[in-house]
Amino acid sequence: MKLIVGLGNPDDKYKNTFHNLGFMCVDKLAQMLDVGFDKSKCRALIAQTNIKGEKIILAKPQTYMNLSGESVQELTSFFKISPKDLIVVYDDYDIYIGECRIRESGSAGTHNGMRNIVERLGLTNFPRVRIGFKPRTELQIPLINYVLSGISIEDKPIFDSILENGAKALYDFANGKDIQYIMQRYNKKG
């Protein structure tokens, strides 16, 4: 069994913001797998399918970003998911717009949602897909405002492309591809 978690915030006002890039990426994966988020479990919207006889669960925690770990901890416990079978996708200000970085493990960096997941699970040895949104010019507004701002029309094609890349990486993960292979194939600089 595999658990694929996209991070974001549940309210409609956050729908097209940078902080919801994780939700957007698992939504693209759900389209690829032809499944819908039609169930609620462990404070998350979930979609389920089977690939080659293995159950695949896609989840979008509804706890708001900073408490994502509460839902992820409940999901991993309920479904008995091992760290190697969990992957989390999220927005990352530490990397530039148009970049996608997949890692086998690592710290939470500056991301509060990931920090909460690491705290709640008590481990860092699970794969993650980081979708960059740091602008190449200096920010003119506070970071908290930027994180919750909408993706511009000009930047939409860049994000469509990088989210597609991230969704393909998640698809390969769901299909049992090795994380090293996924990293080599989908890590992308902008």
pTM: predicted TM-score of the whole model, two decimal places: 0.97
Active site residue 19: yes
pLDDT tens, residue by residue, 114-146? 999 999 999 999 999 999 999 999 988 999 899
Q: What token pair was written down for 59?
A: 């989840």
Q: How far apart are CA 129 and CA 56, in angstroms?
A: 17
- Residue 62: exposed, middle, or buried by beta-carbon count in 10 A (0-12, 13-18, 19+)? middle
Question: Given this model, what pLDDT does residue 189 score?
Answer: 82
Q: Could you say which of 6, 10, 19, 37 is catalytic?
A: 19
Contact of 104 with 66, CB cutoff 8 Å: no
Helix H or strand E segment including 131: strand 128-134
pLDDT tens, residue by residue, 156-182? 999 999 999 999 999 999 999 999 999
Give the mean model confidence (pLDDT) for residues 1-6.
Answer: 98
- Residue 190 pLDDT > 80, yes or no? no
